[in-house]
Amino acid sequence: MHSSCAAALLAPWARLAGAALAAGQGVSSGAASAAASGSQTPAPGTAGGEIVLGTSAAFTGPSRGLGNELYRGAMAYFREVNESGGINGRRITLKLYDDGYQPDPCVQNTLKLMLEDDVFLLFGYVGTPTVTRVLPMLKKFQEEQIYMFFPFTGAQPQREPPYGDFAFNLRASYRQETAGLVENFLATGRRRIAVFYQADAYGRSGWAGVRAALENHGETIAGEATYQRGSRFTGTMRAQVEILQRAAPDAVICVGAYAACAAFARDAIDLGLRVPIANLSFVGSENLVNLLSEGRDDPETYTQWLVNSQVVPSYEDESVPAVGEYRKLMARHNPEIPEEFLDDPYSPLPQSFVSLEGFVNAKLMCEIFRRFDGEPTRAGLEDAVFSIRDFDLGIGEQVSFGPDRRQGLQRVYYTVVEDGRFVPLTDWNALPA
């Protein structure tokens, strides 16, 4: 009993050592993988009629809405697939860990997922500061061919060398989102653009996007202010607002999470900084609006200034096939928050941009699993992904992947708040001045 336990515990390490040895002897990882499959050993994370995906995300803390909603959206689709018999008879299961949107726990969780839980791949990670710290681990264990799929971040590190080869992205990048916002603001004569951003890799990624987009038009960032990751809505952002007020901006682009961005929007309007306040898709739009509207008779006081970029279409638009499917499956399965994360209470949203993104992530993930000829293997993952060409996810944009194309979607959507809901922004000139 003990020896079998010890063997089970040591197995991942032994496998890593074997892979390293194979690499040292000049044996390609493909050959090593073939040898492994020749011995009829199932690929990691695929034993017992399952495909186990590993997730580390913010399920608790001020950004828990992001991890929980992304998970719920993905689970709505995975449950439907599982109830329909799985993929080639295999059920999709998720091994979850909470990192609270903090890099160090995320790194620890990832080590557990790779070395102890032996998951097939990493899926549905949340956040730039977390993902950025995990990427070097994927490179370190590259012989293991553990890929990260569809992280909930639009940052560049997992899209570019030296780590771009270890991740596959579905959503558009922050660079694309910020470029779109900047160009639309500039087109409507708002040339002085300031940035309010999270003091970490995520914030810097968005800041760099704004800076690059402005540079293309011969402009520079008019002013900038930062906040500490993990800031809550109950905190104050007055110091940040005062810094930006001195820059007299025509618009502010926020690169943050919903609690801090809502606090900033509240304090900005209260202090008289009444300019469009744009947020990126990561913000968690519905939670942002909920915080700004809760308990107010005049919720539009704050929300009328919001312009949010999105990387999926509106979940209200049922003319989009995937949205109809999403709404139907969310209503049918209504995935609950995992019990282990209920210590930090969270009220799930019926629909949201974040859960819709989780849903399309899961949908594409399943499609990739269907592309395997026979048993799924890590070695075969890249080929399965690259076989996705002009694939219709049902959101009005074809998805393609290839060795030089590791991001599936390119489109950015812009929304404003009307009657407490996000609707497409059709006229940038109609934004309040």
Decide: is 415 part of the binding site for other proteins (CB under 8 A).
Answer: no
Decide: is 176 part of the binding site for other proteins (CB under 8 A).
Answer: no
**CA 400 centroid distance within chain:** 19
Task: Calculate the CA dihedral of residues 122, 126, 127, 132 and round it to 10 degrees.
Answer: -10
- Decide: 412 and 309 in contact? Cβ < 8 Å: yes
Candidate residues 176, 205, 303, 355; the one interacting with other proteins per rule CB under 8 A: 205
Decide: is 202 part of the binding site for other proteins (CB under 8 A).
Answer: yes
Cα-Cα-Cα-Cα dihedral sign, residues 349, 354, 360, 362? negative
The footprint of other proteins on residues 181-200 (CB under 8 A) is: 199-200
Closest CA relative to residue 173, chosen from 409, 396, 425: 409
Candidate residues 15, 204, 266, 363; the one interacting with other proteins per rule CB under 8 A: 204
Nearer to other proteins, 157 or 376 (CB): 157
Nearer to other proteins, 11 or 243 (CB): 243
State in angstroms the smallest separation of the CB of 135 from other proteins.
Answer: 9
Candidate residues 92, 172, 193, 201; the one interacting with other proteins per rule CB under 8 A: 201
User: CB under 8 A: which stretch of 180-188, 203-211, 346-354, 400-408 binds other proteins?
Assistant: 203-211
Distance CA 144, CA 137 (A): 11
- Decide: 232 and 262 in contact? Cβ < 8 Å: no
Nearer to other proteins, 255 or 269 (CB): 255
246, two tokens: 């001195």
Distance CA 379, CA 35 (A): 12
Q: To which H or E segment does residue 424 belong?
A: strand 421-424
| DSSP tag of 191 | -
Question: Which residues of 216-312 form beta strands (DSSP E)?
Answer: 223-227, 251-255, 277-279, 306-310
User: CB under 8 A: which stretch of 28-36, 114-122, 221-229, 398-406 binds other proteins?
Assistant: 221-229
Candidate residues 41, 47, 108, 160; the one interacting with other proteins per rule CB under 8 A: 160
Distance CA 93, CA 35 (A): 27
User: CB under 8 A: which stretch of 157-165, 291-299, 378-386, 397-405 binds other proteins?
Assistant: 157-165
Nearer to other proteins, 224 or 357 (CB): 224
The footprint of other proteins on residues 35-74 (CB under 8 A) is: none
Nearer to other proteins, 65 or 157 (CB): 157
Decide: is 423 part of the binding site for other proteins (CB under 8 A).
Answer: no
Distance CA 77, CA 330 (A): 8
State in angstroms the smallest separation of the CB of 166 from other proteins.
Answer: 14
User: CB under 8 A: which stretch of 53-61, 81-89, 152-160, 341-349 binds other proteins?
Assistant: 152-160
Closest CA relative to residue 256, chosen from 205, 217, 299: 205
Candidate residues 28, 41, 216, 228; the one interacting with other proteins per rule CB under 8 A: 228
Closest CA relative to residue 36, chosen from 293, 379, 329, 334: 379
Distance CA 65, CA 57 (A): 10
Decide: is 155 part of the binding site for other proteins (CB under 8 A).
Answer: yes
> Which positions from 2 to 41 touch other proteins by CB under 8 A, shown as an x/- string?
----------------------------------------
Residue type, 300: E
136, two tokens: 């070097």
Angle at CA of residue 269, ends 263 and 275, nearest 5°: 110
Nearer to other proteins, 186 or 208 (CB): 208
Using only C-alpha atoms, the chain has a radius of gyration, in whole angstroms, of 22
> Which positions from 102 to 131 touch other proteins by CB under 8 A, shown as an x/- string?
-x------------------------xx--
User: CB under 8 A: which stretch of 223-231, 301-309, 396-404, 423-431 binds other proteins?
Assistant: 223-231
State in angstroms the smallest separation of the CB of 153 from other proteins.
Answer: 9
**Site for other proteins, rule CB under 8 A:** 103, 128-129, 132-133, 155-157, 160-161, 199-205, 207-208, 224-228, 237, 239-240, 243
